[in-house]
Amino acid sequence: MFIIIQYSRGNTLFYLRNKNKEPINSRVVPISGDNYKVLLLESIEKLLAQSNYHSDSLRFILLEMNEIENLQVNAVCEVSRYLKFNLDTSVVVTNSIETFDYDKYLNV
């Protein structure tokens, strides 16, 4: 299973998918720019818990954050490192979830 996280215009979109890329759960969460990393982690944990999963079930997180100027983070890699450390899973950063090669990461 993996999570797609897409930051767009003040909202963070979460898509929880299984290994066949089929949707399990999704949601849109308005997360404040203050404490963004902590609130992002809490939102991931809530999404997993509501779907009866734990973070150890995650194969990877796909992170698309193209408009971060409203957030109090220095760079996308700061968010990526924070999630990787706290969830103990791979975090892949992309510019576009539409053109991302999911099979490359799912077939490993």
- pLDDT confidence of residue 33: 78
May I ask the CATH class of domain 2-106?
alpha beta
pLDDT at 108: 62
Half-sphere exposure of 43 (CA within 13 A, CB side): 25
Tens digit of pLDDT for each residue in 52-105? 999 999 999 999 987 777 677 777 888 999 999 999 999 999 989 999 999 998
Q: Which long-range contacts (CB under 8 A, 24 or more apart) does 80-87 make?
A: 82/37, 82/41, 83/37, 83/40, 83/41, 83/44, 86/41, 87/41, 87/44, 87/55, 87/58, 87/61
Express each pLDDT in 14-43 by its tens digit: 999 999 999 999 999 998 878 889 999 999
